[in-house]
């Protein structure tokens, strides 16, 4: 009757729930125990505990598996760096029996541990530039990147190549604070002549990017993000779109240039494309939505295009940015040039950009075309003009933060002298060689150099036209050998770190599926050979 309630041990009857002995000779005593409140309460407690244990079994098992995996991965990492075994043992000694055999560790756990370690490393590519030659000379993997480690890398490279610290002229990098500190506290004391050039292309990109992130343009940004999403994820839709354009009179349609944050100017190029093609988007996206009404992104795009007010705002912004971002686009394209000697032209570019941004910060006129468009959609012209001025204001603030105090501004200004048009179009003050003393060779010019300088400043009757600076100075090598050599060194100075960006982009080519096990030394060699012209 009470099969699961009692057990017999050495001829004594025990209650399984109460864990007490019960007199068994009289049934009434047994019945009374089973009906007691304490016994009933003990049964209920045991059942609740059993249910809770069953519910926790799955999650406990999963947690145990995760703990085991963490243990094994930490062990692999500990073995890889021997001096960290003590923290490992303190943390994991309880589960020491979970360690698997060596083949399993190597095949399953080691790749994950290595990937995490590899991703934590920072890759530093160092390039040497001389005139029109640029070479990747070193690829280094750093666990910590700061002004000290960067300085150590660069000085080690110069020493390795037996390059005197008196020779380097320019240190070009991004605008990171630790790079500025590296130049100021590590490199400059060793190489006083070294001038730091924070990448101008990066800076111009930052200035233009203020428009992409402007809160007032958020409706346009979100709209274009959705357009990008539906095209990126559907090659068939891209095909239907091109077919749609052909059906509506565009016989050689271009693919939509989708924005990519790592591709400078790509957002502006998508803006310009959208401005010219949005009239086709209304019906195209309406048809796409009708064919797939459960597609949330298509629904949002179609809703925006069918809403006259939202469409009007987007159209106005597209026209404004298409018209007024051209200066940013052209300047960024200029600073990304790699094959032309344009260093003497940088200062003039920056002066024009300064004037352009400042002139529209307080402008009350953005042209009849925009004014008519705003009126057509029945909006307040003054409200939109205030937004346009704000766009130029945020661009100006970013410009002011980087350009006026750019550490290379004096060199940019001085190197204009190697553009003969600058010399010939100016007054006598421009012909004073002493005011260009930031150019090291002009600090204490020799008599021969002064003689050549006088000849150069007197060549006012030359027909210059559209002249390439390198060709001009190569042609002057016989007449002005000293000055020409100096000029050729300076006109080819780099103005951006685009070559560095290109060297990083080659990792995708190197690290394809059949090259996943490259050592760091192999990766260094392949990167340098690939960038420097030898294809693998």
Number of neighbours of residue 8 by Cβ within 10 angstroms: 9
Half-sphere exposure of 491 (CA within 13 A, CB side): 23
Contact 14, 22 (CB under 8 A): yes
Query: What's phi and psi for 516, nearest 5 deg?
Result: -75, -15
Pair 156, 301 in one domain: no
397, 276: one domain? yes
Residue 338: its pLDDT value, please? 80
User: Mind listing the pLDDT tens digit for each residue in 471-523?
Assistant: 999 999 999 999 999 999 999 999 888 776 665 555 555 555 444 455 666 66
pLDDT score, position 219: 96
Coil, helix or strand at residue 228? helix
Number of domains in the chain: 5
| pLDDT > 90: percent of the chain | 55
Backbone torsion region of residue 533, taken as left when φ is above 0, otherwise alpha when ψ lies between -120 and 50, otherwise beta = left
**447-457 and 481-491 helices cross at what angle (nearest 10)?**
80
pLDDT given for residue 520 in this prediction: 62
pLDDT at position 397 over 60: yes
Domain-located, residue 30: yes
Comparing 93 with 430, which gets the higher pLDDT?
430
Q: What is the pLDDT of residue 358?
A: 95
Average pLDDT over residues 271-300: 94
Domain boundary residue among 402, 431, 446? 402
Provide φ and ψ at 79, rounded to 5°: -65, -30
pLDDT band at residue 298 under the 50/70/90 scheme: very high
Cα atoms in the Cβ-side hemisphere of radius 13 Å centred on 409: 8
Same domain, 69 and 53: no
pLDDT over 60 at 3, yes or no: yes
Over the stretch 335-353, which tens digit does the pLDDT of each residue have? 988 889 999 999 999 999 9
Gap between the Cα atoms of 166 and 122, Å rounded: 29
- For residues 280 and 290, membership in a common domain is answered with yes
Same domain, 113 and 212: no
Long-range contacts of residues 439-443, Cβ cutoff 8 Å, at least 24 apart: 439/411, 439/414, 439/415, 439/486, 439/490, 440/169, 440/193, 441/486, 442/414
What residue has token string 């290595």?
114
User: Is the separation of the CB atoms in 204 and 179 below 8 Å?
Assistant: no
Among the candidates 146, 162, 190, a domain finishes at 190
**Residue whose C-alpha is closest to residue 425's, from 454, 453, 457, 451:** 457
Q: What is the mean pLDDT of the chain?
A: 84
> Residue 19's pLDDT band (boundaries 50, 70, 90)?
confident
For residue 51, being part of any structural domain is answered with yes
- Same domain for 433 and 347, yes or no, is no
Q: Are 76 and 82 in contact (CB under 8 A)?
A: no
Highest average pLDDT, of 139-143, 423-427, 476-480, comes from: 476-480
Least-confidence region, from 35-49, 151-165, 167-181: 35-49
**Spatial separation of the C-alpha atoms in residues 417 and 431, rounded to whole Å:** 8
Give 358-367 pLDDT, tens digit per residue: 999 999 999 9
Half-sphere exposure of 427 (CA within 13 A, CB side): 1
Same structural domain, 97 and 132: no
* Structure-token match 């924070």, residue found: 198
pLDDT at 51: 65
Q: What is the mean pLDDT of residues 296-325?
A: 96
Whole-number Å distance between alpha carbons of 412 and 495: 10
Model pLDDT, residue 20: 76
Position with higher pLDDT, 57 vs 316: 316
**Residue 85 pLDDT > 70, yes or no?**
no
User: What average pLDDT score do residues 133-160 get?
Assistant: 90
Number of Cβ within a 10 Å radius of residue 215: 10
SS3 content of the chain, % helix, strand, coil (to 5): 65, 5, 25
Confidence class for position 109, pLDDT limits 50, 70, 90: low
Tokens of 456: 């150069």
| Domain shared by 223 and 351, yes or no | yes
Average pLDDT over residues 57-73: 61
Question: Does residue 112 sit within a domain?
Answer: yes
- The rounded distance, in Å, linking the Cα atoms of 372 and 443 is 57
For residues 393 and 433, state if they share a domain: no
Question: Is-contact 462 124, C-beta < 8 A?
Answer: no
Point out the least confidently predicted range of 48-52, 82-86, 157-161, 379-383: 82-86
Judge whether residue 104 has pLDDT over 70. Answer: no
Question: Tens of pLDDT along 381-392?
Answer: 999 999 999 999
Eight-state DSSP code of residue 253:
P
CA 160 to chain CA mean position, Å: 31
pLDDT value at residue 492: 94
Range of the domain at 300: 205-402
Q: Could you tell me the pTM of the whole model?
A: 0.71
Answer yes or no: do 112 and 184 share one domain.
Answer: no
- Residue 229's nearest CA partner among 201, 266, 195, 256 is 256
pLDDT(524) > 80: no
Task: Examine the pLDDT at 317 and tell me if it is beyond 90.
Answer: yes
Q: Residues 353, 306: one domain?
A: yes
Residue 311 lies in a domain: yes
**Alpha-helix residue ranges (DSSP H) falling in 121-258:** 147-160, 177-181, 188-190, 200-212, 218-232, 235-247
Judged by average pLDDT, the poorest of 50-59, 266-275, 316-325 is: 50-59
Question: Per the structure block, which two tokens stand in for 352?
Answer: 């024009």
Report residue 136 CA to chain centroid gap.
21
pLDDT at position 53 is: 55
Distance CA 165, CA 155 (A): 9
Strands 195-198, 170-173: parallel, antiparallel or unpaired by DSSP? parallel
Per-residue pLDDT at 92 = 64
512 lies in a domain? no
The answer to whether residues 22 and 147 belong to one domain is no
The span from the CA of 441 to the CA of 454, in Å, is: 16
pLDDT at res. 111: 60
Residue 532 lies in a domain: no
Q: Say whether 410 sits in a helix, a strand or coil.
A: helix
What does the pLDDT read at residue 17? 80
Task: Report if residue 306 sits inside a domain.
Answer: yes
């Amino acid at each position: 009757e009470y099969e699961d309630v009692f057990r017999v041990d050495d001829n004594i009857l025990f209650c399984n729930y109460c864990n007490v002995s019960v007199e068994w000779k009289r049934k009434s005593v047994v019945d009374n125990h089973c009906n007691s409140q304490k016994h009933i309460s003990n049964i209920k407690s045991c059942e609740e505990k059993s249910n809770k244990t069953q519910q926790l079994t799955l999650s406990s098992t999963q947690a145990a598996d995760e703990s085991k995996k963490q243990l094994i991965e930490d062990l692999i990492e500990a073995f890889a760096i021997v001096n960290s075994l003590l923290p490992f043992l303190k943390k994991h000694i309880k589960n020491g029996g979970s360690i698997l055999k060596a083949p399993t560790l190597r095949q399953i756990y080691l790749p994950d541990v290595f990937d995490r370690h590899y991703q934590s490393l920072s890759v530093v590519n160092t390039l040497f530039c001389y005139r029109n030659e640029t070479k990747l000379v070193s690829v280094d993997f750093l666990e910590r990147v700061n002004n000290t480690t960067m300085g150590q890398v660069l000085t080690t490279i110069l020493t390795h190549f037996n390059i005197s610290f008196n020779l380097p002229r320019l240190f070009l990098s991004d605008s990171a604070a630790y790079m500025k500190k590296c130049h100021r506290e590590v490199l400059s004391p060793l190489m006083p002549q070294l001038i730091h050039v924070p990448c101008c292309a990066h800076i111009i990109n930052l200035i233009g990017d203020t428009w992409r992130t402007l809160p007032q343009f958020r409706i346009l940004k979100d709209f274009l993000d959705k357009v990008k999403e539906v095209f990126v994820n559907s090659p068939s839709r891209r095909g239907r779109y091109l077919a749609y354009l052909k059906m509506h009179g565009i016989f050689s349609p271009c693919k939509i240039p989708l924005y990519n944050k790592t591709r400078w100017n790509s957002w502006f190029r998508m803006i310009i494309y959208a401005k010219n093609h949005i009239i086709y988007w209304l019906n195209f996206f309406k048809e796409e939505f009708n064919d797939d009404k459960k597609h949330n992104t298509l629904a949002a795009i179609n809703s925006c295009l069918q809403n006259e007010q939202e469409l009007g705002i987007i159209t106005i912004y597209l026209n404004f940015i298409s018209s007024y971002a051209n200066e940013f686009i052209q300047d960024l394209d200029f600073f990304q040039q790699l094959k032309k000697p344009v260093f003497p032209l940088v200062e003039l570019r920056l002066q024009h950009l300064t004037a352009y941004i400042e002139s529209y910060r307080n402008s009350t006129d953005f042209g009849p075309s925009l004014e008519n468009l705003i009126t057509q959609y029945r909006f307040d012209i003054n409200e939109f003009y205030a937004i346009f001025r704000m766009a130029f204001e945020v661009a100006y603030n970013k410009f002011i933060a980087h350009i006026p105090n750019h550490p290379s501004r004096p060199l940019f200004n001085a190197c204009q002298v190697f553009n003969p048009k600058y010399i010939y179009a100016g007054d006598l003050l421009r012909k004073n060689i002493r005011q260009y003393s930031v150019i090291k060779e002009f600090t204490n010019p020799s008599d021969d150099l002064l003689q050549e300088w006088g000849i150069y400043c007197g060549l006012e009757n030359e027909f210059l036209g559209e002249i390439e600076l390198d060709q001009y100075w190569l042609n002057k090598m016989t007449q002005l050998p000293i000055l020409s050599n100096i000029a050729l060194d300076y006109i080819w100075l780099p103005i951006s770190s685009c070559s560095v960006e290109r060297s990083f982009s080659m990792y995708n080519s190197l690290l394809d599926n059949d090259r996943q096990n490259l050592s760091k030394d192999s990766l260094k060699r392949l990167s340098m050979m690939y960038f420097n012209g030898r294809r693998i």
